[in-house]
A and B are shown apart, each in its own frame.
Chain A
Amino acid sequence: MSLSPVIASRAAGLLAGLCLVGVAALFAWRVPASARPAAVSVDVRAVPSGEVGVSPAAPLLGRSSVAPGGPAARGTVRLTNRTAGALAARPRVTDGDPALDRLVEVELRTAGRVVFRGPLGGLRSGVSTPVPLPRGGSATVAVRVSVPGSAAPGALARAGRWTLTFTGAPAR
């Protein structure tokens, strides 16, 4: 049995075409990636320390969804001096997901002055400008949490719950 070269060529072309259609179909079935990056769920709770009371007792930022490059989550906390002298109160963050320490940006302001601005991880060491609290005095701190648009996609779609306390030392 012999095969005509013309028929063989047509069969080969049909086969190659079917292969191409198959490969194209495989790519077509893939779900396209979303253009919108996943947000970070931010839960910040202000907790009193021995020296510095905080109010309100409710979460400062309760499971706020912060998208990269999107609007920041905001809240305020009122600090009160519980000691018998003037205090220098410094913010400190504990708990939370350390993977987000460099991703989440925090800004703390009191009386129009920036106390801290930078990656959240910077608040773990308690190094910042102190908030002055005179004896029997109080201060309101505005908290702003954001995620930069350049945030690494791998670190997104995470949730973090942080505890914010203000430790006091006698003011000099």
Chain B
Amino acid sequence: MSRTKSLLRTLLVIGAAGAVAAFGTFSAFSSTTENPGNKIDSGTVALGDNDSDSALYDVTGAVAGTTVDRCITVTYTGSLDADVKLYLPDAVGPLAQYVNMTVESGTDPTPSFGDCTGFVADGAPIFTGTLAGFRTAHSGWANGLVDNPGSATKWAQGNSLTYRVQLAVQDDNNAQGKSTGTHRLMWEARNQ
């Protein structure tokens, strides 16, 4: 009887050890699936210029025939492709109707704010008229002047355009003693 008991105990221990070993063995077989690396990164829309917050033109004591010929380079640094429009958001004073305005866009391999030495126009002027007429036609994003680099239909990261702005006070007696008022030329980018 004691031998039988001993045998049963031995088998019990072996069985338990086998069960543990079998559990360990079978537990290694498993399967999972996952969907890793989820995230959302937003792109950027960023437009800059080379004016260092200086005015493109600031003329006092202008007379008939006074002219301004200045250049500014606008650069797109955002990661998203964008539309860029030029407009004049501020109301202009009574002199603006006597100031002829021409705006050209093009390239300048060595741009320097204000200086048009290396400027090469892309084509015909993008605006010809008066300063007041520019304000009427292009006062905000909705009616902004669309202009893209070269033949592109968008602005991409790193694109630059140089704008040449020419102004001339008309030879009109009604122009004297007036001001255009302080105004901004605004370039705005919105992603496509």
Contacts and interface: CB of A to CB of B under 8 A. Distances in A.
B114 interface: yes
Contact of A53 (B7, B41, B111): B111
Contact of B111 (A16, A82, A165): A82
A158 to B, nearest CB: 9
B157 A163 contact: yes
Nearest to A26: B28
B21 A94 contact: no
* Residues of A in contact with B, size category: 35 or more
A168 interface: yes
Contacts of B73: 50, 82
- Label chain B's interface by main secondary structure: mixed
A51 B52 contact: yes
Contacts of B160: 48, 53
B52 A163 contact: no
Given A19-B17, A19-B21, A50 B112 contact: no
Interface string A146-172: 000000000000000001010111100
B54 interface: yes
Nearest to A80: B110
Contacts of B17: 16, 19
A83 interface: yes
A15 interface: yes
A77 to B, nearest CB: 12
A34 interface: no
A54 to B, nearest CB: 8
Interface of A: 3, 5, 8-9, 12, 15-16, 19-20, 22-23, 26, 45, 47-51, 53, 57, 80-85, 87, 94-95, 97, 135-136, 163, 165, 167-170
Given A8-B7, A84-B112, A136-B112, A16 B14 contact: yes
B157 A50 contact: no
A81 B110 CA distance: 9
Given A26-B28, A48-B75, A94-B79, A12 B10 contact: yes
Interface in B1-25: 3, 6-7, 10-11, 14, 17-18, 21-22, 24-25
16 contacts: A5-B3, A5-B7, A8-B7, A9-B10, A15-B14, A16-B18, A19-B22, A47-B158, A50-B73, A50-B75, A51-B48, A51-B52, A83-B113, A84-B54, A84-B112, A94-B79
A49 B11 CA distance: 81
Interface in B36-94: 41, 44, 47-52, 54, 73-75, 77, 79
B172 interface: no
B171 interface: no
Contacts of A94: 44, 79
Contacts of A82: 50, 73, 111-113
Which one of A22, A135, A170 has the highest number of Cβ atoms from chain B below 10 Å of its Cβ? A22
A15 B115 contact: no
Contacts of B48: 49-51, 167
